[in-house]
Amino acid sequence: MSRPNIVIIGAGMAGLTAAHQLQSKCNVVVVDKGRGVGGRLATRRIGDATLDHGAQFMTTHTAEFAEFMAQLAEAGVATEWFQGRIGPTGAHDSDGHPRYRGVVSMNAVAKQLATGIDVRTSSLVKSVITENDVWHVNMEDGTAIVADAVIATAPVPQSLALLANGGVALATEDEAALLAITYDPCLAFMAVLDGPSGLPDPGAVDPEEGPIDWMADNYLKGISAVSAVTIHATAEFSRENWDADDESISDALVAAAQLESPVIKSSVQIQRWRYARPSVEHPERHLLLAGVPPLVCAGDAFGGAKVEGAALSGGAAANAIIAALGIAG
């Protein structure tokens, strides 16, 4: 029997985890509209500075993900950053769970996971169409990839748009479940500093109030050659200021940050994460659509947010595809 063809939409943690689990049994292609892999495992370089501006760390709450992170640590890809929770003074409120960072950067973790996988970046999917019991994943460049099954790990509104563009009618229950999922936005500020940030060890704070949800010094974190900060605005501030100009956003966040050294203005960049984190999640790790060839929706909005939730969702989606296609173990 020939190996089934699987297309995974999205090269973030969920998509790459699913690909790893399937590649020994299937022909797997991962497509992503971004220029690189990782999704919110995102890193940017500004001059000599390296800044993680998406997911800041990876927490292990389950034995499965703890084992996965231990393997990455053993391979020299990830390392423990701190344990417990960060508060407004940087103090640890220990919950016993280690927080890992990429040794080089968070994006380097994704690049390691993508090794050996057929990942096609800068590849925008326009629609998915079901025809003769297979899927046609139609790309913006006019090409199509035929697949026996699809895993959609993009933010749910984007996956719904792809299905709608392909005229795929969803079962009422599935449509309701997907429409119930919502996300909070996040405005991410990045800048190089003209001196130390003044943030306490281990280089991060989580303010109790104000426009800042999280602030990290990438130099103290251990990934940047020079002092450079990442500031994540709260969902409320991000929503209210989504369409504001970058300078206004920067001024408000810098004023609230009260950093020890001034920001180098020419280095300032703003990233708008429209689907930063799920605010209403699906209760299960994945959703296998009814009435169509196997298509599984997965990602950090399914059964548990953040990097760990995305990884576990990707694994669950892969298992669902294996079961749906009757692939032998």
- Write out the residue limits of the CATH 3.90.660.10 domain(s) in the chain: 183-279
Between residues 110 and 87, which one has the greater pLDDT? 110
pLDDT at 1: 57
> What is the Cα–Cα distance from 32 to 12, expressed in whole angstroms?
9
> What is the Cα–Cα distance from 63 to 55, expressed in whole angstroms?
21
CATH number attached to the domain at 183-279? 3.90.660.10
> What is the Cα–Cα distance from 49 to 238, expressed in whole angstroms?
25
- Write out the residue limits of the CATH 3.50.50.60 domain(s) in the chain: 5-42+58-180+280-325
pLDDT bucket at 109, cuts 50 / 70 / 90: very high
- List, for residues 275-301, the tens digit of each pLDDT value: 999 999 999 999 999 999 999 999 999
Q: Are 243 and 270 in contact (CB under 8 A)?
A: no
pLDDT at 114: 97
Of 49, 53, 57, 54, nearest in space to 102 by CA: 57
> What is the Cα–Cα distance from 60 to 69, expressed in whole angstroms?
8
- List, for residues 195-251, the tens digit of each pLDDT value: 999 999 999 999 999 999 999 999 999 999 999 999 999 999 999 999 999 999 999
> If you average pLDDT over residues 10-14, what whole number do you get?
98
Q: Which amino acid is at 135?
A: W
**Positive or negative CA dihedral for 44, 109, 199, 213?**
positive
> Using N-to-C axis directions, what is the helix angle for 63-74 and 306-325, rounded to 10°?
110
- Helix residue spans in the chain (DSSP H): 13-22, 63-74, 106-114, 156-165, 172-179, 218-221, 235-240, 246-257, 306-325
> What is the Cα–Cα distance from 192 to 162, expressed in whole angstroms?
38
Q: Is the pLDDT of residue 329 over 80?
A: no
Partner residues linked to 149 by β-bridges:
6
Q: Which CATH number fits domain 5-42+58-180+280-325: 3.20.20.140, 3.30.1330.40, 3.40.50.1110, 3.50.50.60?
A: 3.50.50.60
> What is the Cα–Cα distance from 195 to 228, expressed in whole angstroms?
9
> If you average pLDDT over residues 27-55, what whole number do you get?
97
> What is the Cα–Cα distance from 312 to 170, expressed in whole angstroms?
25
**Positive or negative CA dihedral for 256, 257, 261, 263?**
negative
Q: Are 178 and 154 in contact (CB under 8 A)?
A: no
Tokens 């209760």 correspond to: 283
